[in-house]
Amino acid sequence: MIKLRNAQIEFLYLIWFGAPVLLYQILISRILTQVFGSLFFIQLFLIAVAYLGTALGSYLSLRLKLNLAKSHGLMFGLILLLIGFDQASSELLAFPTMSLIFGFILFFAISFVSSLLLPLYFEEQRSRGLEEVSAFNKIYFYFHLLVVVVLVYMELGILHTWGLNKILLSLCAMEWIWAMYWWKHSRTTALVIPTSSFKEDLRHFPSLLLPLFTFSVVSGIIQSILYRQIQNVLAPLAFHYSLYLAALILSWAMASLWFRGKRGYEFLNWNSFKKHSAVLILSLLVWSLSWPVFWAAIMELISWPDSATATFLQRSLFCVGLILPTGFFFGSLLPLVKKENNQIPLGTYLAVNCSGNAVGILLFISILFEATGIFQLWTLLGLLCLIFANKENKMRILTAGVSVVLCTLTYFLVTDFSWALGSYSHRNLTRWVKDSRSVTDVKVFKHNSSEVNFVELDHSHKLMIMNGHHSINLPSWRSYSPADTFMGLTPLSYTNKHGNALVIGLGTGTTVMGAAELFSHVDVVDLDPTMLKVLDFMPLVAEKVKSKNVKFTEADGLTFLRTQKRRYDLIINNVPSPVYFAAAKLWSREALEGVYDSLEDDGIFAQWLDGELSLESVNILLQTSQDLFKHCDMFYLQFNFYSLVCSKGDHPLTLHEHPSAAANLMQTDTRSYADFFEALRFPAVNTTPQNPNAPMNTLDQPYMDVLVAQRPPGWVGDQTRDNIVQYFKLYEQVDQEAALKSPAIDKKCRIFSNWIFHKEFKDKGEPCSRIF
C-alpha cells in the first residue's frame, strides 16, 4: 500500500481530505445564492446532494480502479469546472433551471470524488496493522475537528479579502499538489476489493443495515429541524449556515473521540442504542426546546461586552449547545455498527448512513415541512421508534411511560414559550416570556421551505416574522405603515417621466403604492411569494398593489436586474437592510451596475439606509456606488432607517412638483405634505466615502456579508445607535440651538419632532425637541 513519509505529512493529509468538501459546499452555496437567492430549500438541498454523492462514492470507492492520485486528479478537474461555472454565472442566468441543475450535479460529483478518499485512506491504515475501529475513530475525530476551524476561518477571515475565486484557485492548486505527491509515492495499486455486493450484505446483515438506514433517515429529518430552529432563534444570516455545519461536524468529532477507546462501547452498544432510541429521541426534542430558554437566560444574566468576539461566542454557544447532543447521538451510528460487525466494508456503512440522511432531508423539504409542525414531527419520530425499535413488551411499557413524561414536558415548553416570535424575543428570556403571554393569534404560511408568521399581540399589535426575522410591524386593518409609504414617495418628486418603475422587494406593499398611482407599468420582484400574504391584512394596500399596471414576479432581485431588458424611469430597492437572507448582494457593485444599466438616462434610484450598520459598512456602501450615483438627497423615515434618493451618474438631481397622489397616500393636504417632505429631507448629502481606500462590496469579495456575519446589526434589538446620523452629521441640520437662531431650522425641527413622536405631519406649535 501507500507509504507515508512521516507523521507530519499524514497529519496534514488528515486535514486536507476532511476540509475541502465542506468548503466547496459553502462556496457553491454562495455561488448559487448569487443566482437564485438565499433559500432555505437550496441550502438544505445542497446538504442532501452532499450526502448522496458521499453515499455513492463511499460504496464504490474500493470497487473502482482508482487510487488517491487519480482521485485528486479528478478533483482538480472538477474544481476547474466550478471556477468556470462561477465565472460564467452571468451568462448562465438566461437558463436559470439548467444552471441550478448543473450546479447541483457539479457539487454531487465533487462530493462523490471527495468521499473516495476516506475509505482509501482507511484501507491504508488497516494495511499498516492499526486496529480498525480505533483508526476509523481517530481519522474521523481529527478531520472533523479541523473542518470546524477551517469553516469558521474561511467565512470570517479570508472570504472578503481573498474572494471566492482565489479561494477556489488555492484549493485547486492543493488538489494538484496532492495528486502529484501520491502519483510519486504510491508503490501499490492493489486494493482489498470487497468480495460481497451491497445486496449480499443486506441479505446477510439486515439487523444492521436496515436499522442504520432508518435511523439515518430520522437523523436527516432532525438535522433539517435543527437548522430551521437556528434560523428562527439566531435569524437567517448567511453565516449561520456555516455555523450550523461547523457545530454539526463538531458533534460528530466528539462522538468519534468518545469511541476512540474501548471504554466508550461499554456505556453504549448497538443493541442498547436501538432499545432506548425512542426515549433518547424524545429527550433530544425536550433539550432542543429547553436549550434556547437556557440560552436566553444566559444572554440576559451575563453582561456581554459590545464586541464582535462576544457576538460570535453567543451564537456559537447557541449552535453548539443545541446541536451537540443530537449530533453526538446520531454520530454514534457509524462507530457502533462498525464495532458490531467489522466484516462489512466501511464504504457500505457510509453509503447506507449518507443515503438515509439524504432521504430524510429530502422528505423534510418536499413534504414534511409544509405538512406538519416541526416539533410535532419530532415527537412522531420518537413514537415510531418506540413502536418499531423495541421488541420486548416490558421494555415497550417502560419506554412508553417515559415517553409520556417527555411529551408532557414538550407540550408545556411549546405552549409557555411562543416559537412564532422573531429572533429578538428569543435572545432575552424576560422579553420572550412577556411576548409569549401577549400572543393572541398566530397565522402561519409556508412555501418552498419558507415560513411566514403573522403574530398578533394583545388583540391589536401585529408582527410579520419571516423565517425567524422580525420583518415588519403590521398596521391596523384599515391603515398602512406611513414610514414604508413615504419610502416609496420620496423619489416621486424627482422623476421626470412616469413610464416604467421597478420595486425590488414587496415588503408590506405600501412602498409600491406611490409608483402604482403614477407609473404606467410597475414591476414588483420578490424571491418569496409568501410575502403576498401580507396584503390579506391590508385591503387598502392590496387594492392598489393588485391593480392592472402592477406585475408581480417571483424571482431573485439581482438575477432580475441582470436578465431583464426593460428600461426604467424609477428603481426602488425596497430591502431595508443588507443583513438577512444574503441581501448584501443587492448592495454589491454588480447589483448597482445592474440598476445603473436598467435606468433611463434621467432615471432615479432610491434605496433604504440602515442606521444600525457600522461606520465601516456605510463607508463600503458609498465606495461601491460612488461613480454610479453621485447626486443624492436623504430622507428620514423612522428611527434608524432612511431613504437615499439619487440621480444616475452625472445627471443633476432635480426636485419637481410634488404629485397630489403623494399627499393623498399620506392622508394629508398638499401644503402640509410639501412642508413635511422638506422637513425630513437632507439635501445634497456628501456621498464621497470618508475613507477613499475602502474596498468595494462585490459578489466575489462580499465585504458586507462578512462584516454583518462578524457583528450583526441590532443583534439584541438595541435601537439606540444610529450611525447614519454620525456618518453624515445630520444632527447639524436639525439642532435645538440652531433652531433658536433660524426660523427655517426651527420649523424643520418642529415638524421633524412631531413626526417622530406623534406620527403627524403638521406643525402643532410645540417647541423643537431633541431629535438626535
Residue 240 has pLDDT above 80, yes or no: yes
Residue 159 has pLDDT above 70, yes or no: yes
Residue 531 has pLDDT above 90, yes or no: no
Least confident of 180-189, 340-349, 380-389, 451-460: 380-389
Ordered strands of the 632-638 beta sheet: 550-554, 521-526, 500-504, 568-573, 599-610, 641-647, 632-638, 681-682
Q: If we measure between CA atoms, which residue out of 595, 618, 591 comes closest to residue 605?
A: 595
d(C-alpha 653, C-alpha 544), whole Å: 28
Which cell numbers hold the place of 197?
A: 455486493
Number of other CB atoms surrounding residue 650 within 10 Å: 8
**250-276 confidence digits (pLDDT tens):** 888 888 778 876 677 778 888 888 877
The residue written with cell numbers 451510528 in the block is 333
The answer to whether the CB of 378 falls within 8 A of the CB of 288 is yes
Least confident of 385-394, 518-527, 616-625: 385-394
Confidence of residue 309 (pLDDT cuts 50, 70, 90): confident
In this prediction, residues 668-684 reach a mean pLDDT of 88
Q: Which residues contact 6 (CB under 8 A, 6 or more apart)?
A: none
In this prediction, residues 432-459 reach a mean pLDDT of 83
pLDDT at 203: 64
**Residue 157 DSSP one-character state:** I
Sign, CA torsion 423/429/430/433:
positive
Q: What is the mean pLDDT of the chain?
A: 81
pLDDT at 348: 80
Q: How many residues does the chain have?
A: 772
**719-770 confidence digits (pLDDT tens):** 567 889 889 988 777 665 665 567 777 777 777 777 776 666 666 666 666 6
Confidence of residue 629 (pLDDT cuts 50, 70, 90): very high
**29-72 confidence digits (pLDDT tens):** 788 777 666 567 777 888 899 889 988 888 887 777 777 788 88
φ, ψ for residue 547 (rounded to 5)? -70, 165
d(C-alpha 152, C-alpha 129), whole Å: 35
Residue 126 has pLDDT above 80, yes or no: no
Considering just the CA atoms, what is the radius of gyration of the chain in Å?
A: 29
The answer to whether the CB of 478 falls within 8 A of the CB of 471 is no
The answer to whether the CB of 732 falls within 8 A of the CB of 623 is no
pLDDT at 517: 93
**468-484 confidence digits (pLDDT tens):** 777 777 665 556 778 88
d(C-alpha 96, C-alpha 102), whole Å: 10
Helix H or strand E encompassing 220? helix 206-234
Q: Which residues contact 768 (CB under 8 A, 6 or more apart)?
A: 736, 739, 746, 749, 750, 752, 753
Instruction: Identify the three-state secondary structure at position 447.
Output: strand
What is the four-CA torsion angle of 247, 252, 257, 261, rounded to 10 degrees?
A: 160
Residue with the bigger pLDDT between 132 and 109: it is 109
φ, ψ for residue 606 (rounded to 5)? -125, 140
678-to-298, 561, 633, 746 alpha-carbon distances in Å? 46, 32, 11, 13
Q: If we measure between CA atoms, which residue out of 141, 105, 137, 112 comes closest to residue 51?
A: 112
Confidence of residue 565 (pLDDT cuts 50, 70, 90): confident
Instruction: Identify the three-state secondary structure at position 684.
Output: coil
d(C-alpha 696, C-alpha 712), whole Å: 19
Amino acid identity, residue 115?
S
d(C-alpha 570, C-alpha 602), whole Å: 9
Half-sphere CA count of 167, side-chain side, radius 13 A: 26
Confidence of residue 588 (pLDDT cuts 50, 70, 90): very high
Name all domains of the chain by residue range, CATH numbers in brackets.
Answer: 7-413 (1.20.1250.20), 423-474 (no CATH), 482-720 (3.40.50.150), 729-772 (no CATH)
Residue with the bigger pLDDT between 207 and 322: it is 322
Which cell numbers hold the place of 15?
A: 486535514
d(C-alpha 408, C-alpha 415), whole Å: 11
pLDDT at 380: 67
Q: What is the 3-state secondary structure (H, E, C) of 594-649?
A: HHHHHEEEEEEEEEEEECCCCHHHHHHHHHHHCCCECCEEEEEEECCEEEEEEECE
Sign, CA torsion 120/122/126/130:
positive
In this prediction, residues 362-390 reach a mean pLDDT of 70
d(C-alpha 673, C-alpha 669), whole Å: 6
Residues of the chain with pLDDT > 70, as a percent, come to 80
pLDDT at 619: 94
Confidence of residue 454 (pLDDT cuts 50, 70, 90): confident
The answer to whether the CB of 232 falls within 8 A of the CB of 419 is yes
Which cell numbers hold the place of 672?
A: 402640509
The answer to whether the CB of 763 falls within 8 A of the CB of 751 is yes
The residue written with cell numbers 469558521 in the block is 152
pLDDT at 2: 42
Residue with the bigger pLDDT between 320 and 179: it is 320
Residue 390 has pLDDT above 60, yes or no: no
User: Is residue 237 left, alpha or beta, with left meaning phi > 0 and alpha meaning psi from -120 to 50?
Assistant: beta
Residue 145 has pLDDT above 90, yes or no: no
Residues of the chain with pLDDT > 90, as a percent, come to 22
d(C-alpha 695, C-alpha 620), whole Å: 6
Confidence of residue 598 (pLDDT cuts 50, 70, 90): very high
